Amino acid sequence: MPAATPTYDIAPAAWRFRLSPLLKRAAGPLVLLALWEIASRTGVLPERILAAPSQIFVTLGELIVSGEIVSNVLVSLQRVLTGLAVSLSLGTALALVAGLTRQGEVAVDSTMQMARTLPFLGLVPLFILWFGIGEFTKIALIAFATTFPMYLTLYSGIRGIDSKLVEAARLFGLSYPQLIVHVILPGALPSFLVGLRYSLGVSWLSLVAVEQINATAGLGYLINNARDFMRTDVIVVCLLVYSLLGLATDLLVRGIEHYALAWRPTFIKD
């Protein structure tokens, strides 16, 4: 007699997946915070080395109420977005040139491969000499730092496109611009979004260096100022803001992926 058909209870799995993705992603950091607070309260972590999370939250509250955090983040956000707009255009244009033509690859790729290994911090004094200490230098440095991830991933994405699809598109009469819009860019998008994610992260990090230059506002300015005055609580608040920005960036890219990569088997839900 055959054994009874095993029944698989899928209910627990379904329940787990109903948890908010935001909550799931925040669980790790929250556990870390709790451990830190416990360490501070029990004296394992002395206050002079690192303030307790509760104290940091008080400082955070003060900075929020005074509007300092928001105004500085907004200044930084503006710089980041301007720099990213430049690097997005530049990275995409260069990747298309290098990815689509043999001559373009020869002309662009080796240069980009060399330039991407230049230490970003080492360029700060040169950029100051060339472009002064105004906004331009700050944005140029952000753009410089974020161009390479976008270029590299889009270039490899373009090169990774199935040539059979390009052939089919040619056969079905797509013009060259149509080929780029309907085949090459969508095909390279998954790879490019990895680069975008990386670029967004780099852009926030570059603020620390960039906003040392004659800045009177911005997240980097705030953190440098706090360092000068030994305000560890303010430093941690700034770091907290950074991590929240990282989380927001990740959510943003996930949102883009969810919408733009809906065709990928991993995103398809029937």
Are 237 and 59 in contact, with CB atoms under 8 Å apart?
Answer: yes
| Beta carbon of residue 157, minimum distance to other proteins (angstroms, whole number) | 12
Interatomic CA distance for residues 92 and 195, integer angstroms: 11
Are 236 and 51 in contact, with CB atoms under 8 Å apart?
Answer: yes
Q: What is the dihedral of CA 259, 262, 266, 269, to 10 degrees?
A: 100
Interatomic CA distance for residues 96 and 242, integer angstroms: 32
Question: Taking Cα atoms as reference points, which of 229, 210, 230, 231 lies closest to residue 221?
Answer: 210
| Beta carbon of residue 256, minimum distance to other proteins (angstroms, whole number) | 14
In the list 102, 171, 216, 230, the residue contacting other proteins (rule: CB under 8 A) is: 171
Question: Taking Cα atoms as reference points, which of 255, 244, 246 lies closest to residue 70?
Answer: 244
Interaction between residue 182 and other proteins (CB under 8 A): yes
Interatomic CA distance for residues 142 and 206, integer angstroms: 6
| Beta carbon of residue 170, minimum distance to other proteins (angstroms, whole number) | 7
Interaction between residue 160 and other proteins (CB under 8 A): no
**Range 46-75, binding other proteins (CB under 8 A):** none
Interatomic CA distance for residues 58 and 228, integer angstroms: 21
Interaction between residue 262 and other proteins (CB under 8 A): yes
Interatomic CA distance for residues 237 and 53, integer angstroms: 9
Give the DSSP letter of residue 265: T
Interaction between residue 270 and other proteins (CB under 8 A): yes
In the list 8, 15, 17, 172, the residue contacting other proteins (rule: CB under 8 A) is: 172
| Beta carbon of residue 187, minimum distance to other proteins (angstroms, whole number) | 7
| Beta carbon of residue 261, minimum distance to other proteins (angstroms, whole number) | 8
Helix %, strand %, coil % for the chain, to 5?
75, 0, 25
Interaction between residue 180 and other proteins (CB under 8 A): no
| Beta carbon of residue 194, minimum distance to other proteins (angstroms, whole number) | 16
CA angle 255, 259, 263 (to 5 degrees): 135
DSSP per position, 42-62:
TTSS-TTTS--HHHHHHHHHH
In the list 45, 90, 174, 217, the residue contacting other proteins (rule: CB under 8 A) is: 174
Return the number of the residue (182 or 231) whose C-beta is nearest other proteins.
182
Return the number of the residue (47 or 167) whose C-beta is nearest other proteins.
167
Interaction between residue 176 and other proteins (CB under 8 A): no
Tokens of 130: 């060339």
In the list 168, 239, 244, 248, the residue contacting other proteins (rule: CB under 8 A) is: 168
Interatomic CA distance for residues 107 and 245, integer angstroms: 36
**Range 185-214, binding other proteins (CB under 8 A):** 186-187, 189
| Beta carbon of residue 97, minimum distance to other proteins (angstroms, whole number) | 23
Return the number of the residue (119 or 173) whose C-beta is nearest other proteins.
173
Interaction between residue 258 and other proteins (CB under 8 A): no
Interaction between residue 177 and other proteins (CB under 8 A): no
Please give the residue ranges that form the binding site for other proteins (CB under 8 A).
Answer: 164-165, 167-174, 178, 182-183, 186-187, 189, 261-265, 268, 270
